[in-house]
Amino acid sequence: MTGRDTPYQEFTLRFRDCSWELVERKEQEQLAREAIPDVLFRLVDFMQGREEWTGTATELLDALGETETAANVLTKWMNEYRLGFLLENHIRYDFSRRSSGRMISLAVATDI
């Protein structure tokens, strides 16, 4: 198979003794999973044992103990992965604007 019918893969090769040796092979799913930011995995862990959580992005970062990520970056990633990674992990993400700022609502999705 060639062309568009072949799934995307990445190979790590090493040249040894005048021949190529396969060191590592990554499938498309594995590459996509590696692209997910670590803070979203911590968010999934944070929601374990909780039904819901509401607050600002800054409050969520404080609750996660996250110091490396900015609030606007977190909300960007949550929007980007809301229908994929978050929903696959049974987390429903929603937001609303209030005079006090943008409020984030996280809830465990039981109807998936």
Q: How confident is the model over 52-104, as pLDDT tens digits? A: 999 999 999 999 888 888 999 999 999 988 888 889 889 999 988 887 778 99
Phi, psi of 82 (to 5 degrees): -65, -40
Query: Whole-angstrom Cα distance, residue 62 to residue 22?
Result: 43
CA dist list (Å): 37 to 14, 31, 51, 108:
29, 12, 23, 20
- Coil vs helix vs strand at 25: strand
Average pLDDT, the chain: 83
Query: For residue 76, what pLDDT is reported?
Result: 92
Burial class (CB in 10 A: 0-12, 13-18, 19+), 22: exposed
pTM confidence score: 0.67
Query: For residue 28, what pLDDT is reported?
Result: 67
* 61 Cβ contact partners less than 8 Å away, ≥ 6 residues apart: 67, 69, 71, 74
The domain segmentation of the chain, as residue ranges, is: 1-35, 36-112
Residue 51's pLDDT band (cuts 50, 70, 90): very high
Could you tell me which CATH number the domain at 36-112 has? 1.10.10
